[in-house]
Chains A and B, each alone.
Chain A
């Protein structure tokens, strides 16, 4: 699986983004997005914000699970108390090698049955753990007296922590 994680501020402005791949089942932690798809990811992710805004008032949970799907791209969402959204786009890949270019996008369409099923309870739980760990670090980040709401998170330590969380759970 390949992941694209982004933190979106209250004005729908990105605060942080990070691309990574699975580290489970022998994954090397590298994202396998097709080159064109990488730009598309940002659109896909942001387009799900409309749905987030609908769901957030019917469900008081922080973790809103998978809220949107675009072909093989699944979007999981986590809302913080301060209305900052953590969005994770996850895309199962056909083969471990992943192949490049448009071929990969085509091949993934009929390979959702691969071990890493994006909607299985296990995946849901893993993503929840990932989000929780990121949330903890996010709270630490905003505790900085120099951090104002909706500011980009630049801390390299934060990035390390997100990387570690990704490696640990996904």
Chain B
């Protein structure tokens, strides 16, 4: 994909775009928050981006280095994998896969929900607290998409209320 031009990089607008990918790798939401924040690419390119990222993410999730605890505490690991470890309640975190992708001009943060939905947030490299923003975006999604009786799972998100709330939340951040 093309990179944002330099003069946009120095503006204060820091959250550029949000993409939501369903668990099959389909693009279900795509929104740019500021005209020119990111160069426009065609809808088709967005679909390719979503599909490609989905595949890369799946592979990186398997590219996990072995956890150090495998060597330090073999006994406890074997007991957790069999599910019988009464004393060892900590299950190893499942590998998260690709989380951050950074270029000179922007940083892309990925958050995967428990149900396999991916949120990709494109922000300025200097933007702080992207985790928090992501969290809030997820909140808005659970409220205004998941509680909407007219939304069908895995289908493109077309919820006015979500658009409105998301828009005003990001505007608030970007104008800070």
**Within 8 Å by CB, do A and B touch in the complex?**
no
